[in-house]
Structure 1
Amino acid sequence: MRLQSIVSVCTTLSLFIAVNGYAAEKDPVVATFATVGDSREEPSDKLNAQDKIWLQNTKAWSRIMREIQTQKPHALFFNGDMIMGYTTDKNALNRQYAYWRGMVTTLQENGTYVLPVPGNHEVQEKFKDNGKTKKIARQSNEDSWRENMGDLIVDAGRWKATVGSDLQAFDVKNVPQIGSADNISTDQSQLSYSFDFAGQHFAVINTDPVGNDGHAPAAWLAADFAQAKARGAKRFFVFGHKPAYTYFYKPGIDLEGMDKFPENQQAFWQTIEQYGATYFCGHEHIYNVMQPTLASGGKAYQVMVGSGGSPFSAEPADSQNPNDRMYAWAVVKVHASGKVVIEAHGFDERYGPTRLLKRVTL
C-alpha cells in the first residue's frame, strides 16, 4: 500500500512538472523588472553614524536589493527620492548620489540594469519664504540629476552587457519639449524618457518639471504611447514619482499627487486607461495597489511602492492595514502572450521574514 502511494505521488508530481513545464514553454517570460522608490532618510538623531552622513536607510534598502537580486529581474526602476536632496548645494547632492550609486552597483554587476526615476527630493529645493515652507523644482538640480544619473539613462551597450539582449527605440531627443502643451520650460532630457524591450514599452516621467511642479507630461506620454503602439508594443508601463491618485490610508490627509491638479490628472490617466498601462509610483512612503477608476469602468492599476526605506507615511495608529508599514517592492513578469503577473513582496519594520503581499494578473 505504501509503495502504491509513493508511486501515485511520483506520478502526480511528474505530471504536474510536465504540464507546468509545457505551459511555461508555451508562454515563456520575456521581460521581468522590479520597482520600488523612496529610500532616503530624514536627518535625525535616531540614525546611526553612517546614515547621518548619507541620509539613507541603508539597512532596509540594502536588504531590498539583496532580495531583488535573488529574483533576477532584467531591470530595477527606482521611482525617485533615492537621496535626501532638497538643496541646490552641488557638493551635498554629489555626495548623496555617490553613496546611492555605490549601493546599487552590485545589482548592475549581476544582471539587473538600474533605471532611475527623478523624485521631488532630487529636483526640488526646499526653503522658507516669509515663514512658509516651499518646495520648487530648480534647473540646477535637473542638471545635477543628469550629471549623476545620465550615464544610466539609457546606455544601450551597458544594457546589453548587463541583461544579455538589446533594448530598442530609445531616443534622447524624445522628451517633453520646451513650450509644448505640457508647460515645459527647461531641458527634460534624461528626466522623462522611454524605450522598448522584448516587445513591451517602458516610459519614465518627471512629475516635478521646473515651473510646473506636481504635473505629469501627459501630452508627451500620449504621443509617445501612440508611436510605441505603431511599432507593435504589446504592454505599456509607466514609472513616476508622484502618484496620479493619493492613497488615503487614513481620513483627512492632504493630496499628494496629480490629484492636486485634476485636469492634468485626468489627461494622464486617460492615456493610462486607453493603452491598458500600469503606473508605478512612490512619494507616499507606503505600499498600495489600487484600480482608482474601477467604479466608473476603468481597469488600469496604480502600484505605489514608495516603501524602499524612507520613514513610513502611516503611523502605527493610522491604519488597521498591516501592509501600510511594510518595506515593499514589486516584481513584474511579462509573458510572450502579453499576460502580466505583478507580485508585491515585503517585510515588516521589525525586519521579519519576507512574504508575498499581493499577486495581480493582467
Structure 2
Amino acid sequence: MISSRFRLLVAALAAAVSAGAAQAQNTTPVLFSFSTVGDSRQDPITYDQASVGATLSGQDAIWLQNTKAFARILRTIQAQKSTMLFFNGDMINGYGWNALGYTSDFVANKISGPTTPASTADVVNSDLLKAYQQYAFWRGLVAPVMETGTYVFPVPGNHETVCKFCPANSDKQKVAKVENEQAYAANMGDLILDNSRFSTLLGTLPQSFNPGPAAGSSPDGLTTDQSKLSYSFDYKGFHFVVINTDPVGAETSAPTNWLAADLAAAKARGAKKLFVFGHKPAYNYNYQKTGVASSSSLDATAATTVKRDAFWTVIEQYGATYFSGHEHVYNISQPKGGAYQVIVGSGGSPFDDKASVPGANPLTDRSYAWATVRVHQDGGVDILGYGFDEHFGPTQLYQQIYLP
C-alpha cells in the first residue's frame, strides 16, 4: 500500500514540474548567447526627471539619446559575452517626415513643409537631417560593441518609420512614411546582413537569409519595400526573425503571412528554436496598479486586435518566442499560457510607469533592463532578465526562465 507520505512527495514533485520550467536550469554547455533591448531614444519634452535630472545634458538634448543608461547596458552586454544584440526599435526620437523640406515642431505639435530650404538653418533643422544625425550618434554608441565581438541587429520602431504630425485622411495623426522607411534602410541596411562581419564575429556565415518582401510582392499587401525592415536567418540550427510592426499603410500590425511562411520553412529545415523580434508587443503589460491598460501594443484597437490574434496564433503554432520593446518597461509573460512574450523596451527612454504612480512591480517597472539569452547545445534556452534601477544602482538578475 502506498503511504500518505509517498503520495505527498509525488504530488510535490508533480507540482514542481508543472509550475516550473521557469525554475529549471540547463547544465549542458552554452552554444552561444545573445541579448536584446529596445527604446534608448530620449524625449525632448517629457523626459523622466526622476531618472535623468531636472534638465537633459547638453549632449542628450541635441542627440536625443539616454546615453548614460544605454552605454551602461552596452558595457554590461559586452561583459556578458553576448555574440548578438537585437535592438528592438526606437533608437532615435525621429517621428518627423524625412522628405525634403519638412520640419516638425514637437513643442507646438505641428509640422511645416514642404518648403525649399533657404538657409543653412533650414537644412539643419529639417526632419531629414535630424534623423540622420540621431542615427549617426546611435551607431557611434554601438560601434565599440561591434568591434569587440557582438553583432548588432536593428529592428525598426515607430519612431523610425512613423511621422507624428503628418496629414493623413485630412487629419493630423501618426502615419508611417516611405521616406522614413528609406532613411532607416539607408542608416541600418549595412547591418542586414554584412556577411563578412557576421562570419568574423560569429564564426560562420548566416544561413537561409530571407529578406523582407520587396515592394509589390508582400503576401500581407504591403506596398513599400520591406527588404531591409523585415528579415530572417539561421545560425547554428536556430532561427532568428526581425519584423517591422509599423509598415507604411499597416501601422501597428505584423507581417503575419510572411512570418508564417518563414517560420514554416525554418521548421522544415529542422530549426531547434524560433526567435522573433519586433518593436510593438502583441499584448500590453498593464504596469499600473490602477488597472488602466496601455495602448502600446498590437491590440490597441478593435481592428488591430484581429490582426494581433492572427499574429499570436502563428507564434503559438510554431512555438516561437517573441521579443519586443515600445512599452518602456520590463516584463516577461505567457499571454495565452504557451509562447513567451519578452518586453524589454527599457533601454533608456522615459519610463511608462511614472514616479508619481508606482507600478505593480516596483523592483522592475522603473528599471533600465534587458534580456540575455543563453542557447545550449541540446536546444534548451535560458532567458535571463537583467537591469538596474532608475538611480543607477547595481545590476541585478531579475528573472530566469528555462525553455526546454
Aligned match of 1:338? 379
Contact 2:166 / 2:175 at 8 angstroms: preserved in 1? no
Q: Given that residues 242 and 278 in structure 2 are in contact (C-alpha distance below 8 angstroms), is that contact kept between their aligned partners in structure 1?
A: yes
Task: Answer whether contact 2:287 2:360 (CA < 8 A) is retained.
Answer: no
Which residue in the other structure is 2:347 paired with? 308
Q: 1:264, 1:219 → 2: CA distance? A: 11
Query: What secondary structure does 1:62 align onto?
Result: helix
TM value normalised by structure 1: 0.88
TM-score by length of 2: 0.79
CA distance in structure 1 between the partners assigned to 2:187 and 2:150 by the alignment:
19
- The 8 Å contact of residues 176 and 184 in structure 1, kept in 2 or not, is answered as no
What is the match of residue 274 of structure 1? 317
Q: Where does structure 1 lack aligned partners over 5 or more consecutive residues?
A: 1-22
CA distance in 1, matches of 2:72, 2:93: 19
Aligned length: 333
Query: Would you say the 8 A contact 1:176–1:217 is kept in 2?
Result: no
Q: Report the more deviating stretch, 175-184 or 195-204.
A: 175-184
**Secondary structure of 1:345's match?**
strand
- Report the equivalent of 1:255: 295
1:1-362 to 2 correspondence within 5 Å?
27-44=28-45, 46-87=55-96, 88=98, 89-127=127-165, 134-172=173-211, 174-175=212-213, 178=216, 180-250=218-288, 251-260=291-300, 261-294=304-337, 299-316=338-355, 317-322=357-362, 323-362=364-403
Compare 250-259 and 56-65 and name the one that shifted more: 250-259
For residue 313 of structure 1, report the CA deviation from its aligned partner.
0.2
Q: Secondary structure at 1:319's aligned position in 2?
A: coil
Aligned sequence identity (%): 54
CA contact (8 A) 2:220 2:256 kept: yes
- Tell me, yes or no, if the aligned pair for 2:30 and 2:375 is still in contact at 8 Å: yes
CA deviation after TM superposition for structure 1 residue 255, in Å: 2.0
CA–CA separation in structure 1 for the residues paired with 2:41 and 2:326: 11
Q: Name the CA distance, whole Å, in 2 between partners of 1:110 and 1:133.
A: 44
Q: Could you say which structure has the higher helix fraction?
A: 1
Amino acid at match of 1:149: M
Structure 1 residues 133, 59: closer, same or farther in 2, change over 3 A? farther
The Cα of 1:181 is off from its aligned counterpart by 4.1
CA distance in 2, matches of 1:133, 1:283: 22
Structure 2 segments unaligned to the other structure (5+ residues): 1-25, 46-53, 99-126
Q: Which aligned segments of 4 or more residues in structure 1 are displaced greater than 4 angstroms?
A: 128-133
**Aligned residues: CA RMSD:** 1.7
